[in-house]
Amino acid sequence: MPETNHYFIDEAGDLNGQSKIFLLGCIITDTPEDLLKDIEHLEEEIKNSRYYYRFRNDFLKTGFHASENHPDIYGRFVALLTALNFRAYAVILNKHTKYFEMIIGSQSKKQIYDDLIKTLLRDRLKKRAEDINYLFFEQNLSGPSRHRIKLRERELQEIIEALNYEISQSNLTQTRMCRVSLQKKKEQKLFAVVDYVNHIITKVYEGKNGNVKRFMRENYRLIEPKIGCIHDVANKTFHMPRRKALEIDNEFIG
């Protein structure tokens, strides 16, 4: 019997000049219902607790969102991550490199984004080629209409189908169903998991020479066992925490 995997894909940073890097990350789980149950349990605790009452109004607006949550809520969610069943992956584009200067001068931002999707998902889908895969992308279109959302879903579906064809040709095997969906963070609470993982990796990656705050180092160490691979596209390096722990001060950009 094939397994059913759920992928949740989100980004951090931008392809303009407002961040040092652009990161595209995903988490993969075969037990999404368990993750959702645990997240909703913590959500209810925060909404109903006297301790968290002072943050309640802001939390009701944002839900679990790493860059907007109060540090006390942030810490509770990071603690929850350590108990959840998922594997995380990320591709990082360092914008302070000649590689980025080259591609931003020759490709549209959409082309760059779509190429990073292929880089992020190729090996993930190859490993799970005989499984059923559902892929959820965070819907971040500006001024989205129903037509634009459906159009983008078709474009993403075509990217995934092209990857599956490539995989089937190299493996000489028939890949199973992959279904793509665009959803907003408020519609799909499991985006909070990849959002937090992306945020922690980004903060560690952008810091160097003692610039990574102690609590963020500790957050990274807590989730490090959950990370399958961090791929630095510009430098052509792969960091696999299960094989070697990250040397935080030496590996990443300042």
Summarised one tens digit per residue, pLDDT across range 241-253 is 877 777 776 655 5
pLDDT at position 198: 98
pLDDT at position 254: 42
Q: Are 113 and 24 in contact (CB under 8 A)?
A: yes
pLDDT at position 30: 97
Residues with Cβ within 8 Å of residue 93, at least 6 apart in sequence: 15, 21, 22, 23, 100, 112, 116, 233, 234
Residues with Cβ within 8 Å of residue 2, at least 6 apart in sequence: 130, 131, 132, 176
Q: Within a domain: residue 53?
A: yes
| Residue range of the domain that includes 32 | 5-249
Q: Within a domain: residue 177?
A: yes
Rounded to whole angstroms, the Cα distance separating 102 from 105 reads 5
Number of domains making up the chain: 1
pLDDT at position 252: 54
Whichever domain contains 198, its CATH number is: 3.30.420.10
Task: Pull the structure tokens for residue 106.
Answer: 């020759």
Ranges in the chain, pLDDT < 70 = 171-175, 208-210, 249-254
pLDDT at position 123: 94
> pLDDT tens-digit profile of 217-244?
999 999 999 999 999 999 898 999 877 7
Q: Measuring CA to CA, which residue among 4, 7, 5 is closest to residue 193?
A: 7
Verdict on whether the full-model pTM lies above 0.75: yes
Q: Within a domain: residue 254?
A: no
pLDDT at position 18: 80
pLDDT at position 91: 97
